[in-house]
Chain A
Amino acid sequence: MWKSVRVNTRTCSVAREDIKDDYKLLGGRSLIAQFVMDEVDPRCDPLGRDNKMVFCTGIFAGTSVSTAHRLSVGAKSPLTGTIKESNAGGTGATYLANHGIRMLVLEDMPETDDWKIVRIDANSEVSLIPAGDYLGLDNYAVVDKAKAEYGDNVSVISIGKSGEMQYKNAGIAVTEFGKGHPCRLAARGGLGGLMGTKQVKAIIMEQAAQKYKPEIADPDAFKEKVLLVNKAMAEGANTSPLAQIGTNSITAASGPQGVLPVKNFNGELSKNYEALSPTTFMENLASRGGKNRVGCQAGCLVKCSNIYHGKDGKYLTASLEYETIALCGANLDINDLDRVAEIDRFCDEFGVDTIEVGATLGVIMDTGKIAWGDADAAMDLLKEMEEGTEFGRLMGEGTEAVGNYLGAKRIPTVKKQAIAGYDPRNCKSLGITYAMSTQGADHTFSSSFGAAPSIIDNSNKFFQPYIAQLLANLTAFVDSSICLIAVGALGLPGIELLPGVLAAMHGIEFTMEDLAAYSAKVILTERAYNKAAGFTVEDDKLPQFFSDEVSKATGAVFDLTEEEMQAILKFV
């Protein structure tokens, strides 16, 4: 039976119990939705003792379904005040699953300075140990230290100094499969800051001596169904640019279409998206000894990750992704992958969300505080966050706080969370997604850029609510089971293979209709939670400037009405 482990960070008690019956079919995002609904007061202060955070695995964890081991982290978000599920690749979920743990909950908060590390040893024993000199370390240093103490095989889930400082743009780093770089972040929504309030610097896991094997109701059918999924995924990966290049393959389409954000979402075409393009990216990897086709977790057949070396041929960063390149590159007019990689590395070390940070810097540049394209000045400001200067701390509060403070004209946020690497005027389905996401402006709520047939004009309203709804409804299930990017390679027909896997696993009937109902329940639970937290349809809005300012790249404005957007939540 899967276990639920509860760690009380005030009393330092650790309780281990069987997972509730109600939670048996839940994992990842669906488990978080239900857990947060059940246990976290929607009106609580997210940085207060009543907030709880949960680390959990997906519904196929412990099996050979490819990419079944995303680590989902959930709570009430310190940044948005909404429910939050933020997930990351890396080894964390695989290790948790091997220890037989479906969910690990951090509750309450210490009354004094009492930083701890949650340790899970080879015998799957969970204990709290003093954080000692892990405190104050950057994520890479945390991992180095953990490796030195527990061996190279260790899996680390940690916060950088940003988390210690309770920043609302702080994420949670997870070590990547292979080299173990802490480059996979559950970045969004300030969950790193929340972990900071619990005074847990890291979760350090050794590989389980005895690997937990989940019960499978119908092993033969299960094996067969899993094989189908994995085969389809491997085949998809053979052609998908997400696998062959990585997420930065998106730049090839988003740049010329005006979807790639430019200078704080000013709506223009990038003057130099070529410098950020897949071509440049691949050339840089090849010429400096970096590589792509890296799997962030064991058994991934898509392998969208990468290791990026600098001009000097030395390791610079890993998992340099599209969103980072969009927000910290084009959005800042820093059209230089090396400089973006440098920012990415800093963010991984310090432990902050590159989307939020890129958007924050964009707003700052837009107000003239530092110049467009000035990567040195951008780095200096990032370091201010680290030094904890007054302005640096303000940056840690997120894009909206900085924008309001500076009186910025354009603040690209929804529910206080920065929008991602797609201009909502020129990919309207993403505009709907930002507005309607239960998590603040979250592109993964319905990651629809490139999903519509090529005859569809994404800057037109037509088709956009439909594709946003379609993907939102699939994604809630995907976020509970496998990796969303892998699903991009798997394609829509491949998703239809997933219900069969769950059916065989539990010996139940589970069809695509059930999958849709499952997703709907997740979204409705999240919406209900947000409503109880005080959110209304008034909050489901994009910043007005997207409707007022014409995108020079396409002539489009964001013109979907509230009614058109809310309709994507009609599930029956």
Chain B
Amino acid sequence: MISQSAPIVPVLSGMNSHLRVGIKAKELGMTKVLVVYDAGVLNAGIVDPVIENLKASRIDVVTFGKVTPDPPDYQVDEGGKLANDEKVDGLIAIGGGSVLDCAKAINYLTANPSPINQWFFPAIPQGKPLPMIAIPTTAGTGSEGSFAAVITDSATGIKKAILDGNFCRYSLTVSDPLMYAGLPAKPSAYCAFDVLTHSIDSLFSAYDEPYSHMFAETAVRKVVKYLPRVIANGNDYEARQEIAFSATIAGNLLNTNMAGNTHCMGHNIGAVFHLPHGLAVALPLVSLMKLFYSKWRPERAKLVGECFGVHFSGTETVEEIGELTGNAIFKFYKDCGIETFSELELNEEDLEKAIDKMTDDIQTPTTYILMSRSDYVSVIEHMKTLR
């Protein structure tokens, strides 16, 4: 198979690297920027130092701090209008995946007519995007490294994607462990599980690109090694930085191999039961590994197992590989204090509704071997047995 790697977003990392934003923005030719953020990061005191830093580099600042989780289309339209009215020449996004996604969508509207909902995938935006800098404050979605964004279509309530290698692409990601330190252990863990699933899914994707294997393996190993440290001590900056790095490179995987079946399932379980994305996508992983992934690509399943510390003698059957790897992942979940599926006591009727949508999920097109409804049911049944 012929496959091509995706361009990697440059990352400026290190303690206090948020104080380099002004100089970098200037290097990118920005003179007046729209700073996009949400109330959470503003209250955390993260936004003001960045704005001050931009101003110190003689960059004019306009702010758009209204972003909410799963940003609705009208929010993007409002941000886009502000960017155009103020004639900004750069965008700075400070926040988690929602903020980073919103800024990407705003970028569409600086060169394409409003509203944003005419640009949902597969529409192709035209013109020249503005340079953008991401300052992620959560280490998970990888939006800073991916060329997609999820925007809620307010007419239907459905989350839709925009996808473009130019308008959705950050010119620079500033990854400063100080920016992540405020996030408590539980949400930090959920975010890291999103990284895990992006990485592991990519190894079992229809698109199979060699660079991505390297990224995926590195990201998994880093999460395994450093997440327990982050959970134990939120101010372990070295561990925060490592997790952030793994999130960003796993975000890059979303540009080629993309996420897979964990996300087909997790998107819908999460939507029905209002679970955090990271938890929802983590729930099916162990069962998928045992029942499907290990059978599709046993060697890859072994690689994943090794990342979790499993030693294979080389004589294991495919089933044994799936068991060993799945069990190792599950043990890691427990060590990290993540809820099991049974503990959540989800109502069966709603669960059926979620399963109904799994085969049509936006992630389905990139999965390796198309799974049927009954396949998903078997995974769900297996998930219930995990304790």
Contacts and interface: CB of A to CB of B under 8 A. Distances in A.
Interface of A: 256-258, 268-269, 271, 459, 550-557
B56 A555 contact: no
Nearest to B19: A555
A244 B308 CA distance: 62
Contacts of A551: 19
Given A552-B53, A552-B56, 5 more contacts: A553-B19, A554-B19, A554-B20, A555-B17, A555-B18
A268 B16 CA distance: 13
B15 interface: yes
Contacts of A256: 23, 26, 57
Contacts of B18: 555
Contacts of A269: 22, 56-57
Contact of A257 (B16, B17, B23, B176): B23
Given A269-B56, A269-B57, A271-B56, A550 B16 contact: yes
Given A256-B23, A256-B26, A269-B22, A555 B16 contact: yes
Contacts of B176: 555
A268 B53 CA distance: 9
Interface in B15-43: 15-20, 22-23, 26
Contacts, number: 34
A557 B14 CA distance: 11
Q: Which bracket fits the contact residues of B?
A: 10 to 19
A258 B20 CA distance: 10
Interface in B98-157: none
B175 to A, nearest CB: 12
Contacts of B20: 459, 554-555
B26 A550 contact: no
A87 to B, nearest CB: 34
Contacts of B53: 552
A91 B19 CA distance: 47
A263 to B, nearest CB: 13
A-B complex: 7 closest residue pairs judged by Cβ atoms: A555-B16, A555-B19, A269-B56, A550-B16, A555-B20, A555-B17, A554-B20
A268 B56 CA distance: 8
A555 B49 CA distance: 11
Nearest to A556: B16
B55 to A, nearest CB: 9
Decide if the interface of chain B is mainly helix, strand, loop or mixed: helix
A553 B23 contact: yes
A425 to B, nearest CB: 10
A271 B53 CA distance: 11
A564 to B, nearest CB: 17
Nearest to B176: A555
16 contacts: A256-B23, A256-B26, A258-B23, A269-B57, A271-B56, A459-B20, A550-B16, A551-B19, A552-B19, A552-B53, A553-B19, A553-B56, A554-B23, A555-B15, A556-B16, A557-B16
A554 B23 CA distance: 8
Contacts of A459: 20
A239 B17 CA distance: 35
Nearest to A459: B20
A311 B17 CA distance: 42
Nearest to B174: A555
B198 to A, nearest CB: 28
B14 to A, nearest CB: 7
B151 to A, nearest CB: 32
A555 B53 CA distance: 10
Contacts of B15: 555
Contacts of A556: 16
Contacts of B14: 555
B6 to A, nearest CB: 23
Nearest to A274: B58
A280 B17 CA distance: 31
A269 B25 CA distance: 14
Contacts of A554: 19-20, 23
A555 B21 CA distance: 9
A269 B57 CA distance: 7
Nearest to B24: A554
Nearest to B14: A555
Contacts of A557: 16
Nearest to B18: A555
Interface string B346-359: 00000000000000
A552 B50 CA distance: 10
B117 to A, nearest CB: 39
Interface string B1-22: 0000000000000111111101
A178 to B, nearest CB: 38
Contacts of A553: 19, 22-23, 56
Contacts of B19: 550-555
Nearest to A269: B56
A554 to B, nearest CB: 5
Contacts of B57: 256, 269
Contacts of B26: 256
Contacts of B17: 555
A256 B26 CA distance: 9
Contacts of A550: 16, 19
A258 B53 CA distance: 11
A550 B16 CA distance: 8
Nearest to A258: B23
A5 to B, nearest CB: 53
Nearest to A262: B56
Nearest to B49: A552
A510 B349 CA distance: 90
Nearest to B178: A555
A269 B14 CA distance: 20
Nearest to A552: B19
A161 B263 CA distance: 80
A551 B19 CA distance: 8
Interface string B310-339: 000000000000000000000000000000
